[in-house]
Amino acid sequence: MADIHNVTEFIFLGLSSNQKVEKVCFVIFLLLYTAVVLGNLLIVLTVATSRSLGSPMYFFLCHLSFVEICYSSSTAPKLISDLLAERKAIALWGCMAQLFFMHFFGGTEIFLLTVMAYDRYVAICRPLHYTSVMNRKVCAVLVGTAWLGGFVHSFAQILLIFHLPFCGPNIIDHYFCDILPLLKLACADTYLIGLLIVANGGTLSVVSFAVLLASYVVILWHLRTQSAEGRRKALSTCGSHVTVVILFFVPCVFIYMRPSATLPVDKLVAVFYTVITPFLNPIIYSLRNAEVKKAMKKLWIRTLKVDEK
């Protein structure tokens, strides 16, 4: 392995070369990451402890929030610590681990969002069969498939990258290890690898996004025959999911459909889908959902009563 990887560590250039800017970013991203963990953890605890949130939709939401915590944690802690470090280094094995977990949780999130769209389709278009179609066993299989799909996707990405020779240079113009910056450092022709990465990552994002759009087109077509109140209630439950889908997929498609080139704006786009979107998800789902807000209020009241005792 030493013959293949002469490089034992990589150096990140980070978000900025200005130390004052990095100190400001340190405070901002520390607050954002704390909010990501606490906000999504609150949703997990609320769904897990509330009897009123026992439907499949909230079961999937609970898993999505947990994945968001893990996904953001694959890059944010290293980013935050590096903002105060003069030398932003990461070992080769640490780089590969970061790459694996980021794509593992990112791929799982893509599959979970697709599963959630299917759940909304069944709930709105086949309401009489909803409880039989989306029973506990089916929900567990769908979630397990999402996790397995994320693992297979990530393992394939690592397999493509790990066997590339890295003999120098070792400077990554990014704040975390990702496929496109690593391709530029490989001491080999990466054209074929780039095509395979598009087939894996890019196609996964585009096809899943297309499936999601198609499912909501069918939902909207079905809603035209329902009453105004029925449409309002259905659109309310779908609105949060559509917003999250757009916030997550659009940056991913922008990044991973260009395997042979990187742009200066890529780092800002990456910040959006690794930190900003996980931060916004709890806000989107809680503010637009009366049941979640009600359950959170009950959880808060129970917690206060326990503290008083």
Q: Is the pLDDT of residue 9 over 70?
A: yes
Q: Which two tokens stand for residue 184?
A: 């530029």
Q: What percent of the chain has pLDDT over 90?
A: 30
Q: Which among 119-133, 135-149, 190-204, 258-272 has the top mean pLDDT?
A: 135-149
Q: What is the mean pLDDT of residues 152-181?
A: 86
Q: Give the per-residue pLDDT at 306.
A: 58
Q: Which of 23-32, 112-121, 126-135, 250-259 has the lowest mean pLDDT?
A: 250-259
Phi, psi angles (nearest 5°) of residue 260 = -100, 0
Question: Residues 112, 143: contact at Cβ < 8 Å?
Answer: yes
- List, as one string, the DSSP characters of the chain: -TTTB---EEEE--S-S-HHHHHHHHHHHHHHHHHHHHHHHHHHHHHHH-GGG-SHHHHHHHHHHHHHHHHHHTTHHHHHHHTT-SS-EEEHHHHHHHHHHHHHHHHHHHHHHHHHHHHHHHHHHSGGGHHHHT-HHHHHHHHHHHHHHHHHHHHHHHHHHHTS-B-S--EESSSS--HHHHHHH-SS--HHHHHHHIIIIIHHHHHHHHHHHHHHHHHHHHHTTS-HHHHHHHHHHHHHHHHHHHHHHHHHHHHHT-TT---TTHHHHHHIIIIIHHHHHHHHHHHT-HHHHHHHHHHHHHHHHHHH-
Q: What percent of the chain has pLDDT over 70?
A: 90
Q: Which of 147-151, 195-199, 254-258 has the lowest mean pLDDT?
A: 254-258
Q: What is the mean pLDDT of residues 243-263?
A: 70
What pTM value is reported for the model? 0.87
Q: How far apart are CA 45 and CA 299, in angstroms?
A: 8
**How crowded is residue 68: how many other Cβ atoms within 10 Å of its Cβ?**
28
Cα torsion through 75, 274, 258, 3, rounded to 10: 10
Q: Which domains does the chain have, with CATH numbers?
A: 9-308 (1.20.1070.10)
pLDDT digits (tens, 9 = 90+) for 60-105: 989 999 999 999 999 999 999 999 988 899 999 999 999 999 999 9
